[in-house]
Amino acid sequence: MSAPENRKYTKTHEWVQVDGDVVTVGVTDRAQEELGDITYLELPETGDALTAGEAFGVVESVKAASDIYSPVDGEVVDRNSDLVDAPEMINQSPFDKAWLIKVKIADPSQVDALLSPAEYDEFAGEATH
Amino acid sequence: MGDSATRPLKRTALFDRHYAAGARIIPFAGWEMPVQYEGILAEHRRVRTEAGLFDLGHMGEVDVQGPDALAFLQYTTTNDISSLAPGEANYGMLPNDTGGVVDDIIVYRMPEGHEGYMVVINAANIDRDLARWDELRQRRSDLDVTVRNVSDQFAMIAIQGPNAESIAQKVIDIDLSQVAYFTLVEGTIAGVPARIARTGYTGEDGFEFFPANADAATVWDALMDAGKDEGLAPIGLGARDTLRLEARMPLYGQELGDDISPYEAGVGWAVNLRKGDFVGREHMAAVKAEGAKRKVVGFKMVGKTAAPRTHYPVQVDGDVIGEVTSGAFSPTLGENIGLALIARDYAGVGKPLQIIIRGKPVDAVQVKTPFYKRAAK
């Protein structure tokens, strides 16, 4: 699956969708595929402060635990609580139903600096070698 | 171990089959092996409810022959090999000199009409097992025995699950219902000769086949075809690990090791102190007499938590009392389960533990093992 348009991406396989000064964050299809069957998810609480490049959550598959990194600085304004009870949704709908958190961003230019869909696809393709 | 990083990875005779099936391939014990095909959860459940096929070509096989083969195996392994009738097998340890374990092994006495024994050993331990047997052969130069690594000659393919016998019978010439658990026969699979054993590492019924490497693809393809209406699919190392963990079968390097006694690991039943002398016997006898200071215990996490993983510390009342040896989400139970090597005083079904997950203590409780036991037929 190639990366959907209208989003930005990180080299750690998160996606960001911008709506005004709030961004929605999730993990990419490539991330869920690499992880395999997802069994557990830890998300921050509403109100938590995030720092770009630092871990804000953990996703676990049968085989391994992986950190999820914040693409931006900001404050968590919403979390997908349903997903914590049904983390396998990340395998089924990584770009849609399995959004993780919404973040009020401090600095919109941080989003501009992230990867475009084409850049991410190229990066993710290269990362398989 | 030093050169393992630079040594090129080996491929089993079935590598092309895995690649074509879309398996995810990982390096494992010096081999390129399939870790998963359709997904670990689905593969795991398939083995519990239907059947799965495993390429175990990385495992080692060693033929032990000669007039003193029995005496040599009695001396160099922990279980009583003299009790084996032709075609029977038992599980045991290749001990070091200090009461620990170099490898865990299955010794098969070859069936009627064949000489000697086949020992199946772990892929990661092939070199050190052979070096150990070499050393012990020199120590016991009075014994007339040959120890031959035949790992490159034999493939190893397992079929496991409730439908295993019915599927395998379609392509095997002998009556599998007459092949008892932990026995070995010689037979023909899809026209090619193979050693056929009723053993496995999943907690399910099933067989392990040892055809010549050159015949591996013939056997694999025939079994896949025979099983297509009974749910058979290939299974990777990922599900192999969760299956063996639910069945509480130890994994060398986790529950077993050079500095862990079999009595600590909970496999004291595979040590026979009455059979006569064997290497490491006095150390094992001492541990048995005094009681093991540590114990491998089973536990479940309480509630919905992260999974316990190997080497996570285990604490009680703020004191670290051991560490997790194996842990995973159990696909059968839908809970997080694990094994931990802990100080004996804290061991006991129902007693609490805390597992340190990413720096935070998380509640767990000790439970009876195995975590999963298949229903009797």
Question: pLDDT of A36-80, one tens digit each?
Answer: 999 999 999 999 999 999 999 999 999 889 999 999 999 999 999
Overall size of chain A counted in residues? 129
* CATH label, B293-377, candidates 2.40.30.110, 3.20.20.80, 2.60.40.10, 3.40.50.720: 2.40.30.110
**What average pLDDT does this structure show over B61-81?**
98
Q: Which of A39, A62, A65 is the closest to B238 by Cβ?
A: A62
pLDDT in the model for residue A126: 58
Secondary structure (H, E, C), chain B: CCCCCCCCCECCCCHHHHHHCCCEEEEECCEEEEEECCCHHHHHHHHHHCEEEEECCCCEEEEEECCCHHHHHHHHCCCCHHHCCCCEEEEEEEECCCCCEEEEEEEEECCCCCCCEEEEECHHHHHHHHHHHHHHHHHCCCCCCEEEECCCCECCEEEECCCHHHHHHCCECCCHHHCCCCEEEEEEECCEEEEEECCCCCCCCEEEEEEEHHHHHHHHHHHHHHCCCCCEEECCHHHHHHHHHHCCCCCECCCECCCCCHHHHCCHHHCCCCCCCCCCHHHHHHHHHHCCCEEEEEEEECCCCCCCCCCCEEEECCEEEEEEEEEEEECCCCEEEEEEEEEHHHCCCCCEEEEEECCEEEEEEEECCCCCCCCCC
- Chain B contact for A60, CB < 8 A? yes
Confidence at B1, pLDDT banded by 50, 70, 90: very low
* Chain A CB contacts of B42 below 8 Å: 37
**CB contact at 8 A, B149 and B124:** no
Q: Which residues of B touch A87 (CB under 8 A)?
A: none
* Residue A23 amino acid letter: V
Residue in A37, A40, A62 nearest the CB of B306: A40
Whole-model pTM: value is: 0.94
CA distance B303 to chain A (A): 12
Mean pLDDT of B25-45: 97
Nearest-Cα distance to chain B for A39, in Å, is 7
Question: Are the Cβ atoms of A65 and B41 closer than 8 angstroms?
Answer: no
Q: What is the pLDDT of residue A122?
A: 93
Mean pLDDT, rounded, for A22-40:
95
In angstroms, the separation between the Cα of residue A48 and the nearest Cα of chain B is 18
User: Is a pLDDT exceeding 70 seen at residue A127?
Assistant: no
Chain B residues lying within 8 Å of A58, measured CB to CB: 306, 358
Q: Give the containing element (helix H, strand E) for A32.
A: helix A29-35
CB contact under 8 A, A40 and B307: yes
Contact predicate B191/B218, CB 8 Å: yes
Residues of A with Cβ-Cβ distance to B331 under 8 angstroms: 62
Considering only CB atoms, which chain A residues are within 8 Å of B306?
40, 42, 58, 60, 65
Q: Spelled out in words, what is the top-level CATH class assigned to the domain B15-56+155-245?
A: alpha beta
- Residue B77 predicted with pLDDT over 90: yes
Contact flag B307-A36 (C-beta cutoff 8 Å):
no
Nearest CB neighbour to A42, from listed B238, B306, B309: B306
The pLDDT of residue B61 is above 50: yes
Verify whether the Cβ–Cβ distance A63 to B305 is below 8 Å: no
Give the pLDDT confidence score for residue B375 in this predicted structure.
87
The HSE-up count of residue B176 (CA atoms within 13 Å, CB side) is 24
User: B-side interface with A, Cβ within 8 Å?
Assistant: 24, 35-36, 39-42, 238, 242, 304-307, 309, 328-329, 331, 336, 358
How far apart are the CA of A90 and the nearest CA of chain B, in angstroms? 14
User: How many Å lie between the alpha carbon of A128 and the closest alpha carbon of chain B?
Assistant: 11
pLDDT tens, residue by residue, B324-341: 999 999 999 999 999 999
Say yes or no for a CB contact (<8 Å) between B307 and A63: no
User: Per-residue pLDDT for A21 more than 80?
Assistant: yes
Q: What is the pLDDT of residue A128?
A: 46
Interface test with A, best of B24, B25, B38, B41 (most A CBs within 10 A): B41
B-contacting residues in A 92-111 (Cβ below 8 Å): none
**CA–centroid distance for B72 within its chain:** 22
pLDDT at B220 over 80: yes
Residues in a beta bridge with B295: B342
B38: distance to nearest CA of chain A, Å? Answer: 9
pLDDT at position B5: 56
Interface test with B, best of A35, A60, A63, A66 (most B CBs within 10 A): A63
Q: What was the pLDDT predicted at B7? A: 77
Where do we find the tokens 């009627």? B112
Please state, rounded to an integer, the average pLDDT across all residues of chain A: 94
What does the CA dihedral B52, B87, B124, B218 come to, rounded to 10 degrees?
-50
Contact state of A65 with B358 under an 8 Å Cβ cutoff: yes
Structure-token pair, residue B147? 């120890």
Q: Say yes or no for a CB contact (<8 Å) between B306 and A63.
A: no
Cβ pair B328, B245 in contact under 8 A:
yes
Predicted local distance difference test score (pLDDT) of residue A129? 37
* Residue A1 banded pLDDT, cuts 50, 70, 90: confident
End-to-end CA distance of chain A: 18
Give the domain ranges of chain B. Answer: 15-56+155-245, 58-150+261-289, 293-377
Q: Angle at Cα B63 formed by Cα B61 and Cα B65, nearest 5°?
A: 170
Helix (H, G, I), strand (E, B) or coil at A109: helix
Interchain CB distance below 8 Å, A62 and B328: yes
**Quick one: average pLDDT of B92-108?**
98
Structural domains of chain A, ranges and CATH numbers in brackets = 8-126 (2.40.50.100)
Q: Which residues of A touch B309 (CB under 8 A)?
A: 64-65
For domain B58-150+261-289, give the CATH superfamily.
Answer: Aminomethyltransferase beta-barrel domains (3.30.70.1400)
Q: What is the pLDDT of residue A125?
A: 83
What's chain B's average pLDDT?
96
Q: Does A55 touch chain B (CB under 8 A)?
A: no
Angle at CA of residue B106, ends B101 and B107, nearest 5° = 110
Nearest to B224 by CA among B234, B236, B215: B234
B6: pLDDT confidence band, cut at 50, 70 and 90?
Answer: low
Contacts of B329 in chain A (CB under 8 A): 39-40, 60, 62
Are the Cβ atoms of B307 and A39 closer than 8 angstroms? Answer: yes
Q: Is the pLDDT of residue B3 over 70?
A: no
**Mean pLDDT calculated for residue range B135-144:** 97
